[in-house]
Amino acid sequence: MAPSLTLPNNVTAQLATMGDIIITLANPAKIGDKVIFDNTTGVLNAIDPATPIPVGSSDAHAYIINYAINSAPSYAVMRLNYVPTYA
């Protein structure tokens, strides 16, 4: 899945540049984790903000801000375009 801002004709899409979104993550998460996007599968994962983004993943420019369940799959509230004060 190469990142792109191009959509084919006649496709329904939901887009957001900022805000809070409830998401499902493939791995356990905690509040303050950075959200990353797997470029091959499209799966969202959470990593510690100090951890480098793995090869094959992209920064989703979001952090877990609330309601993180520390089990897999994990449900959390992600805030887009948010830089926490502790980062």
pTM: 0.74
Whether residue 7 is contained in a domain is answered as no
Query: What does the pLDDT read at residue 53?
Result: 94
Enclosing domain of residue 40: 19-80
3-state secondary structure of 20: strand
What are the pLDDT digits (tens) for 76-85? 888 887 766 6
Whether residue 71 is contained in a domain is answered as yes
Whether residue 52 is contained in a domain is answered as yes
What are the pLDDT digits (tens) for 23-61? 888 888 888 889 999 998 889 999 999 999 999 999 888
Strands (E), 1-87: 19-25, 34-38, 44-47, 57-66, 74-80
Q: Among 18-27, 62-71, 74-83, which range has the highest average pLDDT? A: 18-27
- Higher pLDDT: 84 or 12? It is 12
Whether residue 11 is contained in a domain is answered as no
- Rounded-to-integer distance, Cα 63 and Cα 83, Å: 8
Domain total of the chain: 1
